[in-house]
């Protein structure tokens, strides 16, 4: 018997009647792009985060791209982020014409190391884009302090951090913009693509609404150049259903993670470190292991699925040769060769957590 890395069908099965009714509502109205379901979802997600505005778009990447544009980033500018992330964090900067500048991570949290930030700021820097990797916030207190002192915008990549918080303040409400993804595997996932931007700035929210819809405020009058980045009505209706369950799912993730923490406390792998005051939402439960690849193979041989997030830092990707001159990022390189994500999803049976932990302990002992 095998243990999958995740099981999206488990969640869909339990919600099927609610989802069917939501889909039927959209089919009945025919409002397939934006419309009242998307508007209602924006209001409900803004309330969930404690954000003033929420602007729904058609992917997390579009959320980052449009937020960067609203922050004024463009050709001739630099935007600072990290190389230890999904490629979209960096690609969204490139999409604006600005140059991505990469700083190393804190090895405990795998998020932007604020101590490296100031040295990377130049007169061309326009914005800072921290990534809340694996479901834990980057160290936003120091990052915001540095950004304010230098007059820089902050765009949070919260694609993996729905409901995560630091000192009671949620992801998406620290920076000028919070960018969420509703890709199906995220903690809140659509049945397709989706994304959203949070902001407290009324003017920026209005600009984002235009940017996602060809720069128009009224039909066929284009005040600014924009894009087609509108959320679909079906996704809005589906996300409204799922949002009602998100807190329960998050607690179920945290419960499985706490069990892993306990079972792996004496193992040869390093369990995730949680900063004091941080609410980690465990998009991924990622451990560090000295002989990562051997451990992964040993788990696969026992029928246990794992994931690598991420094996190649962005500036070492073939497509991103222009970033190859990035100054040394030893913590990123070490993390890329040592991390492995264990199975975790809200419906995961506790029995499976026990079996995975046992397998890790046995395998890590033999591959040392």
Contact positions vs ligand PLP (CB under 6 A): 59-61, 85-86, 88-89, 131, 157, 159-160, 181, 183, 193, 195
With CB atoms as reference, the residue minimizing the distance to ligand PLP is 60
Q: Six-digit token pair at 163?
A: 């409901």
Q: Which is nearer to ligand PLP, 246 or 295 (CB)?
A: 246
How far are the Cα atoms of 290, 312, 340 from residue 296, in angstroms, in the given order?
11, 16, 7
Q: Which is nearer to ligand PLP, 89 or 198 (CB)?
A: 89
Minimum gap (Å) between residue 351 Cβ and ligand PLP? 29
Alpha carbon distance 162, 181 (integer Å): 9
Q: Which is nearer to ligand PLP, 82 or 205 (CB)?
A: 82
Q: Which is nearer to ligand PLP, 95 or 207 (CB)?
A: 95
* First CA to last CA distance, the chain: 26
Task: Give which of 1, 2, 5 is closest to 305, Cα–Cα.
Answer: 5
How far are the Cα atoms of 261, 264, 272, 289, 334 from residue 267, in angstroms, in the given order?
10, 5, 13, 10, 19
Q: Which is nearer to ligand PLP, 109 or 160 (CB)?
A: 160
Q: Which is nearer to ligand PLP, 26 or 284 (CB)?
A: 284
Q: Which is nearer to ligand PLP, 175 or 195 (CB)?
A: 195
How far are the Cα atoms of 60, 61, 209, 313 from residue 8, in angstroms, in the given order?
19, 22, 31, 27
Minimum gap (Å) between residue 59 Cβ and ligand PLP? 4
Determine contact, residues 119/166, Cβ cutoff 8 Å: no
How far are the Cα atoms of 26, 34, 230, 240, 288 from residue 29, in angstroms, in the given order?
5, 12, 18, 16, 50
Minimum gap (Å) between residue 149 Cβ and ligand PLP? 26
Q: Six-digit token pair at 236?
A: 């809005």
Q: Which is nearer to ligand PLP, 212 or 352 (CB)?
A: 212
Coil/strand/helix, residue 330? helix
Phi, psi of 346 (to 5 degrees): -55, -35
Minimum gap (Å) between residue 221 Cβ and ligand PLP? 29
How far are the Cα atoms of 117, 278, 348 from residue 252, in angstroms, in the given order?
35, 17, 9
86 in the Ramachandran plot: left (φ > 0), alpha (ψ -120 to 50) or beta? beta
Q: Which is nearer to ligand PLP, 62 or 360 (CB)?
A: 62
Cα angle, residue 88 at apex, residues 86 and 94 outer, rounded to 5°: 135
Q: Which is nearer to ligand PLP, 183 or 353 (CB)?
A: 183
Minimum gap (Å) between residue 275 Cβ and ligand PLP? 18
Minimum gap (Å) between residue 61 Cβ and ligand PLP? 3
Task: Give which of 304, 305, 309 is closest to 287, Cα–Cα.
Answer: 309
Minimum gap (Å) between residue 186 Cβ and ligand PLP? 6
Alpha carbon distance 77, 73 (integer Å): 6
Minimum gap (Å) between residue 85 Cβ and ligand PLP? 5
Task: Give which of 63, 21, 56 is closest to 40, Cα–Cα.
Answer: 56
Minimum gap (Å) between residue 109 Cβ and ligand PLP? 14
Minimum gap (Å) between residue 159 Cβ and ligand PLP? 3
């Amino acid at each position: 018997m095998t243990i999958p890395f995740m099981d999206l069908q488990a969640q869909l099965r339990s919600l099927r009647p609610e989802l069917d009714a939501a889909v039927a509502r959209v089919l009945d109205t025919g409002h397939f792009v934006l419309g009242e379901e998307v508007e209602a979802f924006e209001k409900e997600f803004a309330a969930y985060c404690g954000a003033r505005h929420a602007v729904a778009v058609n992917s997390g990447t579009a959320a980052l791209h449009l937020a960067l544009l609203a922050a004024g980033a463009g050709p001739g500018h630099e935007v600072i982020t990290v190389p230890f992330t999904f490629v979209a964090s960096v690609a969204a900067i490139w999409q604006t014409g600005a140059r991505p500048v990469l700083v190393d991570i804190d090895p405990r949290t795998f998020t932007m190391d604020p101590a490296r930030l100031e040295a990377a700021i130049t007169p061309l820097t326009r914005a800072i884009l921290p990534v809340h990797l694996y479901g834990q916030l980057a160290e936003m207190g120091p990052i915001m302090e540095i950004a304010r002192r230098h007059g820089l915008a902050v765009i949070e990549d919260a694609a993996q951090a729905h409901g995560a918080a630091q000192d009671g303040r949620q992801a998406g409400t620290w920076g000028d913009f919070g960018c969420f993804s509703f890709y199906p595997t995220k903690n809140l996932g659509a049945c397709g693509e989706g994304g959203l931007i949070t902001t407290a700035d009324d003017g920026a929210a209005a600009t984002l609404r235009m940017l996602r819809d060809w720069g128009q405020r009224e039909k066929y009058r284009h005040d600014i150049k924009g894009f087609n980045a509108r959320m679909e009505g079906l996704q809005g209706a589906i996300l409204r259903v799922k949002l009602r369950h998100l807190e329960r799912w998050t607690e179920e993730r945290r419960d499985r993670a706490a069990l892993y923490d306990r079972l792996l406390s004496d193992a040869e792998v390093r369990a995730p470190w949680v900063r004091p005051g941080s609410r980690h939402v465990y998009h991924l439960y990622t451990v560090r292991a000295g002989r990562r690849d051997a451990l992964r193979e040993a788990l696969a041989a026992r029928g246990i699925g794992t994931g690598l997030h991420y094996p190649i830092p962005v500036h070492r990707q073939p497509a991103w040769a222009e970033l190859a001159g990035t100054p040394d990022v030893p913590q990123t390189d070490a993390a890329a060769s040592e991390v492995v994500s264990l199975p975790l999803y809200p419906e995961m049976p506790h029995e499976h957590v026990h079996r995975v932990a046992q397998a890790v302990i046995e395998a890590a002992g033999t591959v040392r």
